[in-house]
Amino acid sequence: MESRIDRRAVLATGAALAVSHMLPVRAQEKPKLRFAAVFSDKDIRADMMKVFAKDIEADYTVESFLGGSLFKQGTELVAIQRDNLEMGNIAPQDISKQVPAWSILTSAYLFRDANHLNAFFASDLGAQMKKMVEDQVKVKILGPTFFGTRQVGLKPKKKISKPEDLAGIKLRMPPGDAWQLLGRSIGANPTPMAYAETYTGLQTGAIDGQDNPLPNVQNMKFYEVMSQIVLTSHLVGFDLLTVNMKTWSGMNAAKQKSFQAAADKAIAWSTAEHLKKEAELAEGFKKQGLDVYTPDVNAFRAYAQKIYLASDEAKAWPPGLLDKSNAMKT
């Protein structure tokens, strides 16, 4: 009888020990990081997030919610601030609504190209702007996610060399004051129109042109109703890969370093893929019969920055930042 009791006690003790060993394992399951973005799963940046997720898989599981499926476009930043979302792809325009100084980062010709964009964010100037967001918005910026440079596409065959050549040209711009300012800053007559109506607007002559990155021109088939693409490169398009402060602050220094390194690697890969695609599209449009050429970009830059500096937006810009950015060598 005693031996039976002993055996039962031993078995019970063993089972308890087995359970106790299992509990810490369950408690140490990898944290999940939910990532939200408005871009689709066909976007290069969707693959960027796969590259990023692979590099941090030892510590975290990344769950991507694309196409605005988890949070509507423009609401992701507040979700991150409230810890309802761990990671997001945030538009700089959304940040500038809370940090007015950031409007400089959405102005025409601040950045010459994707290399300048990345060099800026890697510099002391970029660190200064990122710290503003950390202090005022309580969000950690990992880096800028380039998605294309806006170019002018026109139906008329008029040659465009300088901003003055766009005088009177009805250029479709997205609705909103900031976008109308962008249109004026390159010399055009900005005409607010919904994105979905742009093709018909070009077809009927309601507008003379539109400005979008080349992949958009391809996807929306604007090239069918245009005669030329003027490579003004007036706005380097980017969003920001961000993580909430609760997640970032919960990492030790070594983990923060590896997390940032994974983001840098993924962003660099994505940027290279976007640049490759833009180059391919420019050549493709030429073969389809469009005139694709580069105007006097320096003239456009000088004209645009003069317009912006005289605007109300510029009142909130950090003193000297524009000149310092212009002087950066890449």
Domains of the chain (ranges plus CATH)?
A: 29-327 (3.40.190.170)
Q: What is the pLDDT of residues 93-145, one digit of tens each?
A: 889 889 999 999 999 999 999 999 999 999 999 999 999 999 999 999 999 99
Q: What is the pLDDT of residues 170-202, one digit of tens each?
A: 999 988 788 899 999 999 999 998 888 999 999
Q: Give the helix ranges, DSSP H, for the chain.
A: 2-27, 44-55, 76-81, 92-98, 114-122, 124-136, 177-185, 198-204, 214-219, 245-249, 253-287, 297-309, 321-327
pTM above threshold 0.85: no
Residue 222, C-beta contacts closer than 8 angstroms, at least 6 positions apart: 153, 198, 199, 202, 210, 212, 216
Q: Which two tokens stand for residue 258?
A: 């590896």
The CA angle 132-73-86, to the nearest 5 degrees, is 60
